[in-house]
Amino acid sequence: MIEKFDRMHGLPDGFFDITTANIRSLFPKPTLMQLDGRGGDFLFISILLHGNEYTGLKVMQKILADHADDLPRSILLFIGNVQAAEANRRFLPGQVDYNRCWPGTDLVPSPTSQMMQRVVEIALGLPLFAAIDIHNNTGKNPHYACITDPSLENQNLAARFNRVGMVFNHYGVSTMAFNGTCPAATLECGLPGDPRGIEHACRFIEDMLTLDELPHGKPTRHALHLVESHLTLNIPEHISYAFDPAADVDLRFESDFEDRNFTLFDPHQVFGYTRVERPLSITDTDGHDVTDEILRVEKGRIYLNNTMMPAMITRDELVIQQDCLCHLLQDYLPYHEVDL
């Protein structure tokens, strides 16, 4: 059985006036919308895969208003988890995460994964220029692009968005479904609704609508600094925690811990504080527990064993429960082994 979604050809009346709070008045179900432009190929764009990450909706409202009468390139727009968007939630209880069930997922088959399979089949039946997934972070982060395959075309796509790019390997994300077919990247645009993130993503989408082709050469280190997300840091359910070093809980972080996104922690810097032996759980991309290899606890202080960079730190309790506290990054080594 497949989760039902709507298909539209052309922009419906009222698109520019909707918000996530009333989005289901126009899009009662997930919707795949074909918007024909002058170009012969399509830009696939997905938004609202996480319902509380609504920058993508704002971006597409602005882009399509600016090009109401003359769209430079055709767009295939997928509007995702409208139920969660209406409730301002990442996803609702009982739902599958809309950004973990695309082709290539390691989750058990579900009506939602069947829907994503069908969406990709439709997209692959069209000539594609690129596939873009617009997201937000729940914590303070710079804007950056994520790619699941460090191919040259994906590196050049990421470099068009920002100098910082991340290689990540979360099975079932939308970006992974398009690897080998067209350049594909996820845009992380800061906090939801941040005007700077909206404007940055708009500039990028404008670029994608008018660009003839991406560069073919390898981007230099000045154009793109690739980091790799291969570790996920979780707080076990039985561990109490706070972002207050003086709190009476099992695990404590500094109050400005969120500001440490994309900064380096060396093995001598305190990462956090604890009164238990194993306050955190760290897994690699294959789901293996590597906690004891990555961190150590000495006299109630938590240290990383190697210099690493946290990203996507969030203080949102629900996101910590549904996803993670943060990811740990290092330079993407295959990239830097090449002389630039």
Asked if 259 and 249 touch (Cβ cutoff 8 Å), the reply is no
Q: Which position has the token pair 């497949």? A: 2
Hey, what domains does the chain have and what are their CATH numbers? Answer: 6-223 (3.40.630.10), 229-336 (no CATH)
Q: What is the pLDDT of residue 54?
A: 98
Bigger pLDDT: 340 vs 48: 48
b/e burial code for range 112-149 (CB count within 10 A of at least 16 → b):
bbebbbebbeebbeeebbbbbbbbbbbbbbebbbbbbb
Alpha carbon 141 to chain centroid distance?
Answer: 12
Helix (H, G, I), strand (E, B) or coil at 147: strand
Q: What is the pLDDT of residue 265?
A: 94
Measure the CA dihedral 323/89/237/292, to 10°: 20
Helix (H, G, I), strand (E, B) or coil at 6: strand
C-alpha span between 230 and 264 (Å, rounded)? 16
Q: Which two tokens stand for residue 285?
A: 């991309």
pLDDT beyond 50 at 337: no
Measure the CA dihedral 6/7/8/14, to 10°: 20
C-alpha span between 211 and 90 (Å, rounded)? 32
299-320 pLDDT, tens digit per residue, is 999 999 999 999 889 999 988 9
C-alpha span between 267 and 191 (Å, rounded)? 29
Helix (H, G, I), strand (E, B) or coil at 295: strand
pLDDT beyond 50 at 120: yes
Closest C-alpha among 58, 64, 55 to residue 33: 64
Closest C-alpha among 242, 215, 229, 89 to residue 158: 215
Q: What is the mean pLDDT of the chain?
A: 93
Q: What is the pLDDT of residue 230?
A: 79
Mean pLDDT computed over 185-202 = 96
The answer to which of 53-67, 92-106, 209-223 has the lowest mean pLDDT is 209-223
What residues form DSSP beta bridges with 289? Answer: 283
Q: What is the pLDDT of residue 333?
A: 67
Q: What is the pLDDT of residue 338?
A: 41
Beta-carbon contacts of residue 106 (< 8 Å; ≥ 6 apart): 171, 172
Amino acid in the structure at residue 230 = H
254-297 pLDDT, tens digit per residue, is 999 999 988 899 999 999 999 999 999 999 988 899 999 999 99
Report CA Rg, the chain: 20
Residue 139 pLDDT grade (very low, low, confident, very high; cuts 50, 70, 90): confident
Closest C-alpha among 192, 203, 189, 137 to residue 19: 192
Percentage of the chain modeled with pLDDT above 70: 98
